[in-house]
Each structure stands twice: as structure tokens, then as C-alpha cells.
Chains A and B, each alone.
Chain A
Amino acid sequence: MMGLGALLCGFTLLLFLLEKSWESPVSLGPQQAFNAGSIGTEFAPLPVITALPKLFPEQFMPLGPDKGDWIEQYGFLRRDDSPLPLGLTVSSYRPQSASPSPVPFVGIGCGTCHTGEIVTADGTRTRISGMGNPALDILAWFEAFRAAVLARDDNGDFRLNISSIEQANGDKLGLAQRAIVYVWMRVLRDVLQNGLRRHDYPYPADTRLNALFHPAGPGRTNPFNTLVTTVLDLPNRSLTQNREIHAFTKIPAVYQEDRRKWAQFDGSIRDLNGRSALAAMTIGATAENLAHEEISRNVMLATDYTRHLNPPGFSQATGASIDNERAQAGKAVYRTYCFSCHGMPDANGQWQPGERMGELVKAEALGVDAERVSIRHAARLSQTLYKRFGPDFQKRYNKVHPLAFAEQDIRPKSALDQGYINAPIEGVYSRAPYLHNASILTLAELINLIPRRQSFPRGNNFYDTQNVGLSVNTDSAAGLPFMFDASRLGNANHGHDYPWAYDDSRRDEAALRNLLEYLKTL
């Protein structure tokens, strides 16, 4: 009896001491926290992430090995100092709990999605912190990850296992590391297999970047899908139609966030730290691990980084010049037709709000695709999220969540109140593709200077300095594998016909050219 008691106590004490040695808190500055700080999104051990492309090339290089590596094919941004792309974080925290781990875990940091590159036809690349990454197909990448974790060999055994991981990396895992990776695989497989009823099996690997099978595509996510299904455990359905919702949402730029009273395309959250916390929740963070001292600090630091973040000027980023005379003429057009909703900088560069800036506008009034603001459970979700960080957390853990926000800082209160927010558009040249659903490649099309394309290829698109946005050319080996089709659900590119619709008799092409030139200066 005493031996058993000593064994149990000894094991508990040993585990506790080992965990102490695994903890490696990191103190980062705002920019580092944005690019590399853990925000509680850890999802897989580092040795697994490095092994996956070798073990499952069909999943992680679905276009073939001659079309670039997984970083290029899925549109991540390469780093010189790491085999991982920019923004992927490495920490000693286990997923969801932030408990210490002997094996590093990889998470998705802010910089993964909110750092982009402008690649001009001469191959010049300008990396812009805060820009939404228009090339990143993160949902397809996660589907590849899900497929790899569930893949079995001819004998019915899982292909991803400790032995295959060690073989792929050419490196043995320690005992404690093996234990954690083993438990992680068991738990994740249970979750994924239980989720098959809702998500079904992954499509074959060669469909991974095909719009017919993975309709979100590059530069977009489906954030409400994760939140509704994981937080509410409900199907993500349309408010007005009895079907699944397709709320594809552009990965937004996060410049000058302090100017936005309400954040997100639907203006659903007023508290910036809360906004960041909810963004982290869409990729796996929990209220519990977001309360962890280092993680909550990183979230706040990364948020602070975006409060006054400015993009570089158009000429600096693209190498193209601006016709100042036309831009000056375009300013008057902007003031007449755009300023009211989006505001504009004054002579000192201070952004002056227009009278309708911050107003929530119904999709019907704008004429744009309504999927993003037709979430059946939007009100239930906002209320649940408020409680999860607020009263429920306080009641359960007897402390205030460091990222808690007030009830009046999240909306809608009724699902019928959803709409799009009128927001400032600093660095608008770097926000392509345009509209909330990334359905318009260039500003010239958005302002109806030229007709809007109904379909176009997407991936690592070159920048189009003439029409201001993305072109349909690339020098990437991966090419442009995703064919965007505006006729598909959630992809509509109509509406927002300002100053004039393309077929409006008042449409003034010269004025639009001037407006386009002015937009480059924002």
C-alpha cells in the first residue's frame, strides 16, 4: 500500500517538476508578438508539422513537387530563418489548455494571415505588415492537415504515427515527447472522427486547391463556421434560407485599428482586444488558454501593434508612380462620393471621419452579397461569446478574464440587425481583392471604371499597378490554381456601385480615372 502510494505521489511530483522545466515563457515586443507570439492557437507538435510535407506530399504539395513546396502552394510567406512560414508560432504550450509541453507546439499567429506581399511583374516583393495575405489558402491547408491525420495505409493503420514522424524528421523523440505526441494524436483523431458526421471525409488531395471542392480559396476564411460549430455546437445555417451558410470573408488588413469604433466587416465587436481574442478563437484558441498570462499579453501586444499601424505608400510598395495632378482632381470625386462613408486624410494626414463612417449598412442597401451578414445564430453567438469571456468565466474560475469585454461591445443583439460597417480605407491599394468577400480583383473594377470580371484565377497573383489590385499573372511555380467564380454562393461581386454603376448614364470615366489615382494616395 505504501509502495503504491509512494509511486503515485512520486509520479505526480515528477510530472509537476518536469512541467516546470518545460515552461519557457517568452517576453516579446508588440511587433514580435504580432509575428511570432503565441495567441493560444497551438494545434500540432512541431515535429509533426515538419514531417507532414514529407509524409504526405500529395496533401501538402497537391499541385505536384515541381510546383513549389507547401509554403508556396498554399500561399504562406517564407522566412529566411526558419523552415516554418512567417506567422506560425512555436511555443511550449499544449493546445487549448496552455499546459506546459516537452515538445514544442505550432500555432497560427496574427502575422500568418495579416502580413501580405505585393509582387510586381518584375518580381519585386514588398512585404507589408498588417496587410491581409491574399495568397494564403489556410482553409485548404487545414483540410490537408485533417486528411493527413486521418489517412490510413493499406493495412488500415494510421500513416501518421510516432515511427513515421521520427523517420521523416531523421530525429528520435524523447520519452516525454513521444507520450505527448501520442496523446495529441489520439485526442485529435477522436475529435476529427467525431466531427465526420458534420464535416464528412476530406476530399481527395488533388482537389485541395480546386474552387469546386474548397470554395473559400486564397485570401479568405469562413470564420463564423468555426465559431458557430465549435462555440455553439450548432450547424452554421442561413438566417433566411434553410441551408448551410457560405460566409466567405476576406482576410482583412489591420491598419490603424484604433480608428475603428467597431471592428470586423460586420462591425460586430467594439473592444479591440476582444476582437483579437475572438479571431484567435476561430483558429482554435479557448477562453481558458487565452487567459494564460503570456498568451493574453501577446494578444494585447499584437493588438497594440495594429492600433496605429500604417502601410507604406503606394509608390514605395509597388514602385509605380502617382499622377499628382489627376490624384488632386480625383480627391474632389472622392470627397463627393466616398468620404461620407469612408472618411479621408486631411492636409496633416489625420483621418477625418465622414458622417456615415462607422454606420452599419444592410447588404440590400449596398447591393452586395449578403451571405456574410445572414448568420442565423449571429445574436446567439455574440451573447455566448460575451458570457464565455465575461460572467461564465468569472463564475467558473473566480477571476476576471484579462480579455473580457463588455456586453454592449459585442453585437448583433438580434440576427436581423446584421450589416456591413462603413470603415476607413487606409492603404486601400493593398486591400485587394475588394469587397468583404474578395470578389473584385482591382479598384478599377470596384469603382466601375472597367467591367468586373465574373471569374478569375487566384493564388500568388502579381500586383496590377495600372488597375490597382491583383492581376491574373504570376511567376510562382504554383501558378494560380484557384478559379474564382462570382456566380457561386457567397462570391457575388455586385453592388457597392459608387460613384456610379457601370451602366449608369451619369457615369463619368474621366472622373473615375482621377478617383482611381487618388485612391492610390490613401
Chain B
Amino acid sequence: MDSVAESTSPRAFAVTFLLFAVMLFAGNIYAEISNALLFYRTIFTIWMTIVLLIPASFLYLAGRENHWFRWLWTFAFVAFLVHFYFAVGENHHFSIASVYAKQGWFTASYNFFITVAWIVFTVMLWRNPRQYVLFKHAFVLLLLAGMLVASIGLKDGIVSGLGGLLIVAIIAGIMMRFRKDRSA
């Protein structure tokens, strides 16, 4: 496992940041020319989150917690925060009651919990990369389960395709982890 100092690799940051920026820009431009600006901003930012989570999950599950891993998780989180802003801030005017009324108790609670847990997770990635492993595993499990249910279980089209890629990344990551463990 790399050190935190290594994880700030400028190349990893630049590539991940550029990927994030291109998706943010392209998604926003598409939303601008659509008939539903806020809707597509909300949709595209969750797609961005999943796109970034695909390699991030692979690296996490494969046990390759290197500099790419941290930046991908971090930018996935930033994308999720942007999504959260559009979904809760713009759509619901930051009214928690409105979110619960719209999404229902279970989904709203899950979404709020994941948001808070992701903040903690991101801080841990940078401050305590080798600690709180159980929490991190539990968070990733919960997050990926939620993403898969939301993308494949409840939707179709592009987001469902992204969910499929996420599954592939998860399986590949787990297989990589087993191979690594066996060879070790």
C-alpha cells in the first residue's frame, strides 16, 4: 500500500481531475440544451459519480489503494456532492422534510447516511489510510449495493449500463484480490 505522500501524485490528480472536469462540462452543456436543465444536471452528476466509482471500486476491492485510488474516490465524492446539491438543494430547496416526503423513509435515510459516511470515508482515505478498515469495508459495501440497486434494479438505459460496468469492476476487483492473496 502506498503512503499518503505518494497518493498526491500530480499525474493521478491531473488525469482524474480532467476526467471529472470533462464529464462535468459535457453533462452541463447537454443539460443546457435539454428541456429539463435541473433534471439532467442531477442525472449527469450521478452518472459522473458512477463512472468514477467504477475504477475506484476496482482498485479498492483489488487491494490496490494507490494514488489513483484515492483521487478517484475523492473526485467520485466531489461528483456526488454536486449531485447532492442539485438533488437536495435545487430540487428540494434543502428541505429534509421534502426529501423524505418525495423519496420515502428508507431511501432518504440511506441517501443522507451515505452522504455523511462518504465524508468520513474520504477524510479517512487521506488522514488514516490504514485504519478503520472495517468501517471502510462496510461503507463501500453499502455504497456499491445502493448504487447497483439504483442503477440496475430501478432504472434502464445508460445508467443501467453504468451499473453493469460497476458489477464487472467489482467482480474483477474481487478476483484480483484473490489472485493477489494466493500469490502472496
Contact = CB atoms under 8 A, between A and B. Distances in A.
A198 to B, nearest CB: 21
Given A96-B35, A397-B39, A399-B102, A5 B20 contact: yes
A86 B35 CA distance: 27
Interface stretch (B21-29, B116-124, B170-178): B21-29
A12 B24 contact: yes
A5 B14 contact: yes
B149 interface: no
B158 interface: no
B18 A97 contact: no
B37 A9 contact: no
Secondary structure dominating the interface of A: helix
B22 A8 contact: yes
Interface residues of A, number: 21
Interface residues of B, number: 19
B28 A4 contact: no
A365 interface: no
Given A5-B20, A5-B21, A15-B28, A97 B14 contact: no
A17 to B, nearest CB: 12
Contacts of B6: none
Given A1-B18, A2-B17, A8 B36 contact: no
Nearest to A16: B28
A397 B36 contact: yes
Nearest to A397: B39
Interface string A284-298: 001011000000000
Interface in A1-44: 1-2, 4-9, 11-12, 15-16
Contacts, number: 51
B24 A9 contact: yes
A99 interface: yes
A114 B70 CA distance: 62
Contact of A8 (B10, B24, B102): B24
Given A1-B14, A1-B15, A399-B102, A12 B25 contact: yes
A96 B32 CA distance: 12
Interface string B62-101: 0000000000000000000000000000000000000000
Q: Which of A2, A5, A9, A289 has the most CB of B within 10 A?
A: A5
Nearest to B93: A293
Contacts of A288: 35-36, 39
A251 to B, nearest CB: 27
B21 A6 contact: yes
Contact of A2 (B14, B36, B37, B102): B14
Contacts of A98: 37
A9 B25 contact: yes
Q: Which of B22, B34, B37 has the most CB of A within 10 A?
A: B37
Q: Which of A9, A96, A97, A397 has the most CB of B within 10 A?
A: A97
B35 A97 contact: yes
Contacts of A2: 10, 13-14, 17-18
A4 B18 CA distance: 7
Contact of B35 (A5, A7, A11, A286): A286
B1 to A, nearest CB: 26
5 contacts: A1-B14, A5-B18, A5-B22, A8-B22, A399-B102
**A-B complex: 8 closest residue pairs judged by Cβ atoms:** A5-B21, A8-B25, A8-B21, A288-B35, A1-B14, A5-B18, A99-B37, A5-B17
Interface of A: 1-2, 4-9, 11-12, 15-16, 96-99, 286, 288-289, 397, 399
